[in-house]
Amino acid sequence: MGRLFGTDGVRGVANLELTPKLAYQLGQAGAYVLTGETKHTPKILVGMDTRISGDMLEAALISGICSVGAQVVSLGVIPTPAIAYLTRQYDADAGVVISASHNPFEYNGIKFFNSNGYKLPDAIEDKIEEIIQNDGEDLPKPVGQNIGFKCYQENALEDYVNFVKGTISGDLEGIKVAIDCANGASFQAAPMALFDLKAEVSVINNEPDGTNINSGCGSTHMQQLQAYVKEIKADIGLAFDGDADRVLAVDENGNIVDGDQIMAIIGLYLKDKGVLAQNTVVATVMSNMGLDIMAKNNGLNIEKTKVGDRYVLEEMLNKGYMLGGEQSGHIIFLDHNTTGDGLLTAVQLMKVLKDSGKKLSELASVMQILPQILINAKVTNEKKYKYLDDEVIKKMCKELEDEFKGEGRVLIRPSGTEPLVRVMIEGKNKDIITRRAKELVRVIEGRLS
């Protein structure tokens, strides 16, 4: 059996890979591991997105949690970041989200948060897996009044929306916003928050039917929102993913404003107000080099981590930074929440828009996005990590970096799952970097196939 947990919980096609049996086992083992130290009846929050498989998996997961004597608080359909926040707010011992984020509707996933609202470290996930592999033989089997039970928290969504609204002062009156809820977990929370903040709100893709989540809409399919923003002459468009832990924006001209640009806009705003910890933004190695150039010109520091929001968060916690995220729009405001939060990011961005009095296109223009070319080199699985040791490949990369003179870069990394080495080249001239990327791919394939 391969490792159950991927980079963001356990995911798979619902009822085929992520079965009710596995959900039950995850509920049992997760509840036991995350609440083992408690001296009271453990309390675990459970929420989900809008997928048709959510009810099936929720029933199984909750059964597993109750079977080891824990109490479940069911929150229904709610954004992932709401679970992270409410786990702390409600003094729960853990939180669980049933969601496969931006994946198509037939997939689903199960993701845990600890009592402090953080995703689990590998060591805790390994403990949960070990129990499942042993068929839960050593788990407690309470009977009678010690069996767990389920209750409902009817005002959970309202509590989360009030929290998000409270992260800014004043309101968003005067801003015309178009939002694409991806027929996902933000379909109630996002309109509610922005209406309450007095923005002029128009909404698309907020009628989930269990099978239309992320279907040609949301942050992975921006064309519909881009056209809609121009059609209704909105000041800004906001596109959430299925579980609303990330957001991308669209300016008044219908151009996409990605996570790097959102961090640049908000980072500069917070720095000018003197409230950006160490004047630093944490990004990943996949962030556009335009972010580095913008930072250098504006007295901002950019710290880089490996790809993945868990590494961004780790760096923020270790060094005391408060703003970080990814190009995909997964942005963490550590002063407010413990995970990426699409609605929180949206509200913060709109606050900058209102306070500055500028158009979003003007705010985004502080950062010039350099063209990026990404090509996969087909190699053997055994050799895909050997690129680091190959002198010819290293020499060619060095020559390319020298050629770009600080206005471009080369990034090579092996695929975690396929026999590929991903080659990304960034620079000012798209034709030149495309040609160079193809040359480098040919060399890598010749050396590592």
Among 185, 154, 158, 26, smallest CA distance to 96 is for 26
Q: Is 245 helix (H, G, I), strand (E, B) or coil?
A: coil
- Token pair, residue 409, equals 């870069």
CA distances from 200 to 67, 131, 235, 290 (A): 47, 51, 10, 32
| Cβ contact 74:43 at 8 Å | no
CA atoms within 13 A on the CB side of 67: 18
CA distance linking residue 107 with residue 133, whole number of Å: 23
**β-pairing verdict for 420-426 and 372-378:** antiparallel
245 marked as binding residue: yes
241 marked as binding residue: yes
In angstroms, how far is CA 265 from the centroid of its own chain? 19
DSSP H or E run through 156: helix 156-165
CA distance linking residue 103 with residue 395, whole number of Å: 39
DSSP H or E run through 403: helix 391-404
CA distance linking residue 289 with residue 30, whole number of Å: 40
Whether 101 is catalytic is yes
CA distance linking residue 177 with residue 172, whole number of Å: 10
Residue with tokens 């990304």: 424
Residue 12 β-bridge partners: 108
CA distance linking residue 395 with residue 393, whole number of Å: 5
Beta-carbon neighbour count of residue 449 at 10 Å?
11
101 marked as binding residue: yes
CA atoms within 13 A on the CB side of 276: 21
Integer Rg of the chain from CA: 23
Q: Is 387 helix (H, G, I), strand (E, B) or coil?
A: helix
The number of residues making up the chain comes to 449
196 marked as binding residue: no
| Cβ contact 95:117 at 8 Å | yes
Choose the catalytic residue: 99, 101, 186, 219: 101
Report phi then psi at 308, rounded to 5. 130, 130
Among 402, 404, 331, smallest CA distance to 373 is for 404
| Residues in binding site | 101, 241, 243, 245
| Residues in binding site for Mg(2+) | 101, 241, 243, 245
Positions marked active-site: 101
